[in-house]
Amino acid sequence: MTTTQFEGVTVATQASVYFDGKCISHGITLADGSKKSVGVVLPATLTFNTGAPEIMECVAGRCEYKPKGSEVWLTSGPGESFSIPGNSSFEIRVTEPYHYICHFG
């Protein structure tokens, strides 16, 4: 099931812009204090590093991703998600805008 909205959140009004504008996101804080980001990755192949564990939920679009240490590209589309451990990285390959929610663990 795809998350379509969050109720009762605080939104950072200034976007975080990464990779020369290929990834743009806004941080949100839920009423319980948990943090997430919502954003879009534009067509590119990028490498993201993680501090905390992350779950990437696809809201729209599609991506291929490859966790650190893997040689296999996996696919994630609307309503699907994938997990990356903390202090790791993953490559992401996008050919159409990939809209996501990043759930921090």
pTM for this one? 0.93
Residue 59 main-chain phi, psi, to 5 deg = -95, -40
Q: For residue 103, what pLDDT is reported?
A: 96
Q: What is the CATH T-level fold of the domain 10-104, as seen in this structure? A: Jelly Rolls (2.60.120)
Q: For residue 11, what pLDDT is reported?
A: 96
Residue 27 per-residue DSSP state: E
Strand ranges for the chain from DSSP E? 10-11, 16-18, 23-29, 35-41, 44-49, 54-60, 63-67, 74-76, 81-84, 89-94, 98-104
Q: How distant is the alpha carbon of residue 5 from its chain centre?
A: 15
Tokens of 16: 């975080």
Residues of the chain under the 70 pLDDT cut: none
